[in-house]
Amino acid sequence: MKRSFLVSLILLSLIPGFSQYVPLDDRIKNNLYLTVNVNKSECYVGEPIIATYKLYSAFESESTILKNPSFYGFSFRDIITPRDNVVTRETIDGKKFDVHTIKKVQLTPNESGKLEIDALTMGNKIRVLNNAGGKIDLLDGVQEDYTLDGNYIHFTISSVPIVVNVLSPDNVSRPMNYNGAAGDFRMNIQMNKTTLTPGEQGVLTITIAGNGDFSKVKVPVVQWPSGITARPAQAKNNYTRQTGGYKVFGIPFSGTAEGSYTIMPVQFSYFDTLNNRLNTITNRPITFYIRNTENSNTTTPPISNMNDDETRTALIIGGGVVLALLLLLIFIRKRKKEKAFKPAVPAPTNTTNRFKPAAPANNIDGYLQNAADTKHHMGNTFYNSLKQGIINFFEERFGLPSVLFNRTSLKQSMTENGVNEATQERVINLLTEIEMNIYSGGGLDADKTSLLNKTKQVLSAL
């Protein structure tokens, strides 16, 4: 008897109208729901992760946040908020959804253990009646009672909490000098001078540039040689969350004993958000000298044993040599002028290119030639030449006068000329890096070569 009853139920379930009933709440949850994703479920203390909350809706609806998630044990920084209105379209199992990125946040754990990323709760107002009062398919065959608010019903949804396993900072694979900085960074270290007198103050400048969370960028540890006294670092900032920038640490120091001193490589560790790994950058050792210049200049010059007649003769001979060199120089310059005014084949009548630079307009190398020629010069000459080359490029290609060249006018000019946002950001970041090197006094030759090639690539994309 029981077997016959079960068979009857199975047969009835196959008949239209006798299929399993789906409650209204479940129908809504299949068409309106929240998701939360993290880019990793395990990290170190101080290593940031990214949590993204998205709302999927197949309805005509209005949604508001009722409860923001609490991030206990984390410090956080918003990347995307509802004000940014980030919306895309996705098709899932043949159904079209509007996908709203409600929140994207960078979370940095401050303690180890199992830390929970809290749920996000949203209230939703779903349109279930059209203007004529007809019901949408959602309400077909609904058996439960529901309350209408005009043409709408209200429904609350939440994301699920997520647990992140945060490892102890004592893990041997974690750099000891890592303090939570995250992004894409470069480091440059320079001295204002390499030879000092006893007691004279020098300055070691450490510049960290790039994109990321600069609030976590602290002055790196410097291993000062014995006999050198360093004072607290002075920091200067020039960065934004959107375009990046640089942070400069100037460390005054001095010593009293003469000799040669070497500062061992300085290390800066950060979480590389491009490659999702911890990274450590460093520099080459820096050697400087402390010398008593007064002692080196006290040597008495040798006294000449020549008498007055011999001195007079030597002066006459020397004067004759100088006069001969001057005559030779005049002769050479005269020959050059004659060659310069030698009749030549008449130039083409087209004068449109008369005042253009020697390099053709489509030759990026032409704008950057001065920078390439000064690549091995000390100081910031190369970087000033590189920036001037970029200014010249925009003046000729985009009609942006050099006297008006600044970031605001540059972005406006690029926008008017149809340059996309990604390329604009590359240009701004490039200028930031160049200005950082100008400010800090220069960099390594290898860095200069890399920056020159990078500049060519960016300008070629315009």
pLDDT above 90 (res 99) = yes
Mean residue pLDDT of the chain comes to 78
Least confident of 193-207, 375-389, 442-456: 442-456
pLDDT above 50 (res 200) = yes
Position 333 scores a pLDDT of: 56
Position 199 scores a pLDDT of: 93
Position 329 scores a pLDDT of: 56
Position 158 scores a pLDDT of: 93
Least confident of 148-152, 174-178, 248-252, 451-455: 174-178
What is the rounded CA–CA span in Å between residue 140 and residue 24?
Answer: 10
Q: Which residue has the higher pLDDT, 209 or 442?
A: 209
pLDDT above 70 (res 303) = no
- Percent of the chain whose pLDDT exceeds 90: 29
pLDDT above 50 (res 277) = yes
What is the rounded CA–CA span in Å between residue 433 and residue 208?
Answer: 10
Position 179 scores a pLDDT of: 76
Q: Could you report the per-residue pLDDT of 17-42, keeping only the tens digit for each? A: 446 888 888 888 888 999 999 988 88
pLDDT above 50 (res 5) = no
What is the rounded CA–CA span in Å between residue 230 and residue 272?
Answer: 30
Which pTM was predicted?
Answer: 0.47
Burial of 220 (0-12, 13-18, 19+ CB in 10 A): buried
Position 54 scores a pLDDT of: 95
What is the rounded CA–CA span in Å between residue 190 and residue 194?
Answer: 10
303 DSSP 8-state letter: P
What is the rounded CA–CA span in Å between residue 182 and residue 213?
Answer: 6
Tell me which residue of 197, 77, 57, 205 sits closest to 138, measured CA to CA.
57
Indicate the Cα dihedral angle 193, 455, 280, 263, nearest 10°.
-10
- Percent of the chain whose pLDDT exceeds 70: 76
What is the rounded CA–CA span in Å between residue 406 and residue 391?
Answer: 10
Position 354 scores a pLDDT of: 34
Asked whether the beta carbons of 181 and 44 are under 8 A apart, the reply is: no
CATH class held by domain 182-295: mainly beta
CATH 2.60.40, domain 19-167, yes or no: yes
pLDDT above 90 (res 347) = no
In three-state form (DSSP H/G/I as H, E/B as E, the rest C), the secondary structure along 264-285 is CCCEEEEEECCCCEEEEEECCC
Task: Residue 10: count other Cβ atoms within 10 Å of its Cβ.
Answer: 9
Count CA atoms within 13 Å of residue 429 on its CB side. 20
Q: What is the mean pLDDT of residues 441-445?
A: 54
Least confident of 28-37, 219-228, 229-238, 323-332: 323-332
Asked whether the beta carbons of 429 and 244 are under 8 A apart, the reply is: yes
Q: What is the mean pLDDT of residues 380-388?
A: 87
Q: Could you report the per-residue pLDDT of 405-416, keeping only the tens digit for each? A: 887 778 888 988
Position 89 scores a pLDDT of: 92
Q: Could you report the per-residue pLDDT of 328-341, keeping only the tens digit for each? A: 555 555 554 454 44
Asked whether the beta carbons of 148 and 138 are under 8 A apart, the reply is: no
Q: What is the mean pLDDT of residues 249-255?
A: 94
Q: Which residue has the higher pLDDT, 356 or 109?
A: 109
pLDDT above 70 (res 312) = no
Find tokens 């959107």 and name the residue.
242
What is the rounded CA–CA span in Å between residue 260 and residue 104?
Answer: 52
Position 259 scores a pLDDT of: 93
Which residues fall within 8 angstroms of residue 441, CB to CB, at 6 or more apart?
190, 192, 205, 379, 380
Least confident of 73-87, 278-292, 341-355: 341-355
Least confident of 38-47, 153-162, 258-267: 38-47
Locate CATH 2.60.40 in the chain. 19-167, 182-295
Q: Which residues pair with 435 in a beta bridge?
A: none
Position 287 scores a pLDDT of: 92
Can you tell me whether residue 37 is helix, strand or coil? strand
